[in-house]
């Protein structure tokens, strides 16, 4: 199975990048499933049902989120009823929504390389997606380590193919979390910092790991926002309006190839594609 994970989609430029670049990426990599972090997809702040529908219409199969989850009040509708929409698992008990989901994926249908010959008939496989949020330099939530261990154990009863978006700030927390799950999940990819790191790798147990997938949106910016207001806030300490920037729009993410039978990662490849 080949998964494309798309790093935090920021505003309309980020959504445009998904719309324009996904068809080619799907074709050239033979992608089977597309997972995207959508926490900044509504004008940089949160997500709404309309915007989630837009991302699904471009071919996104599942949307993960993070600390910007609550920025738009309409998100409550998604949390109540959208099975393809995830929020971090480690909110307190009683929080609406879900931290994980299992999807049926037709594997092999968009393959255009030599694998097609080996798998002439597309196969149905289950993939689990888990969304967890870190606690270091982040709002306090339940312990992500303890909850993820239990959740992964539960998910593995249904599938060995498990993708985890760990939305966190601190590199140590991200690496330790992924080391804990090495061999238990197919991949742990970090989001939230909006900066791609240079450490994509496969751990000894077979878990693909990458500290941060970066963000999908305008990179002539500070993490997707116009430069001037951010700079002004650092210079003056006064609050500013952070509008989404416009230029040098990139799609950031990772293509992860997973062995269908074992659920172990075979390859993780960094993606940084420019909108024409």
Per CB under 5 A, residues contacting Fe ion are 8, 39-40, 66-67, 192
Shortest CA distance to 109 belongs to which of 101, 118, 119, 100? 119
**Secondary structure of residue 189 in the 3-state scheme:** strand
When the beta carbons of 97 and 108 are compared against Fe ion, the nearer one is 97
Query: Considering the complex, what minimum distance in angstroms separates the CB of residue 69 from Fe ion?
Result: 9
CB of 31 vs Fe ion, minimal distance in Å: 22
DSSP secondary structure of 16-62: HHHHHHHHHHHHHHT-SEEEEE-TTTTTTS---HHHHHHHHHTT--E
What's the order of all strands across the beta sheet hosting 123-133?
100-107, 123-133, 162-167, 187-191, 208-210, 201-202
Contact 225, 13 (CB under 8 A): no
Residue 8 or residue 226: which is nearer to Fe ion going by CB?
Answer: 8
Burial class of 269 by CB neighbour count within 10 A (0 to 12, 13 to 18, 19+): middle
Backbone angles phi, psi at 262, to 5 degrees: -95, -20
Q: Compute the least distance from the CB of residue 93 to Fe ion, in Å.
A: 22
Q: Please identify which of the residues 68, 192, 194, 219 carries the catalytic annotation.
A: 68
Q: Long-range contacts: 77-83, Cβ < 8 Å, 24+?
A: 77/49, 78/47, 78/48, 78/49, 78/52, 82/49, 82/52
Residue nearer to Fe ion on the CB measure, 5 or 203: 5
CB of 132 to Fe ion, least distance (A): 12
CB of 12 to Fe ion, least distance (A): 15
Residue with the CB atom nearest Fe ion in the bound state? 8
Judged by beta carbon, residue 40 or residue 131, the one nearer Fe ion is 40
User: Nearest to residue 147, comparing CAs of 136, 158, 159, 155?
Assistant: 155
Rg value, the chain, Cα: 18
Residues 6+ positions from 220 with CB-CB distance below 8 Å:
227, 245, 246, 247, 248
CB of 131 to Fe ion, least distance (A): 11
Query: Can 68 be counted among the known catalytic residues?
Result: yes
272/13 Cα distance (integer angstroms): 15
Please, which residue, 213 or 255, has the CB nearer to Fe ion?
Answer: 213
List, by residue number, the catalytic residues: 68
């Amino acid at each position: 199975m080949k998964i494309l994970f798309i790093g935090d989609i920021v505003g309309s430029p980020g959504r445009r990048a998904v719309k324009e670049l996904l068809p080619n990426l799907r074709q050239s990599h033979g992608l089977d499933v597309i997972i995207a972090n959508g926490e900044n997809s509504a004008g940089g702040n949160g997500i709404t049902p309309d915007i989630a529908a837009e991302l699904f219409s471009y071919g996104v199969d599942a949307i993960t989120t993070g600390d910007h989850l609550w920025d738009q009040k309409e998100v409550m509708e998604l949390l109540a009823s959208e099975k393809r929409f995830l929020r971090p698992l480690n909110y307190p008990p009683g929080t609406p929504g879900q931290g994980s989901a299992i999807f049926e994926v037709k594997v092999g249908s968009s393959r255009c390389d030599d694998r097609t010959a080996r798998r002439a008939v597309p196969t149905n496989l289950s993939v689990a997606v888990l969304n967890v949020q870190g606690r270091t330099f982040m709002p306090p939530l339940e312990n992500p380590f303890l909850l993820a261990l239990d959740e992964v154990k539960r998910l593995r009863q249904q599938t060995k193919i498990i993708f985890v978006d760990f939305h966190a700030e601190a590199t140590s927390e991200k690496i330790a979390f992924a080391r804990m799950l090495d061999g238990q999940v197919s991949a742990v990819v970090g989001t939230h910092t909006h900066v791609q790191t240079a450490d994509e790798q496969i751990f000894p147990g077979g878990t693909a790991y990458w500290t941060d997938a970066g963000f999908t949106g305008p990179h002539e910016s500070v993490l997707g926002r116009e430069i001037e207001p951010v700079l002004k806030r650092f210079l003056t300490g006064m609050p500013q309006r952070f509008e989404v920037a416009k230029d040098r729009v990139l799609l950031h993410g990772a293509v992860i190839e997973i062995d269908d039978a074992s659920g172990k990662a075979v390859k993780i490849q960094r993606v940084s594609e420019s909108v024409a």
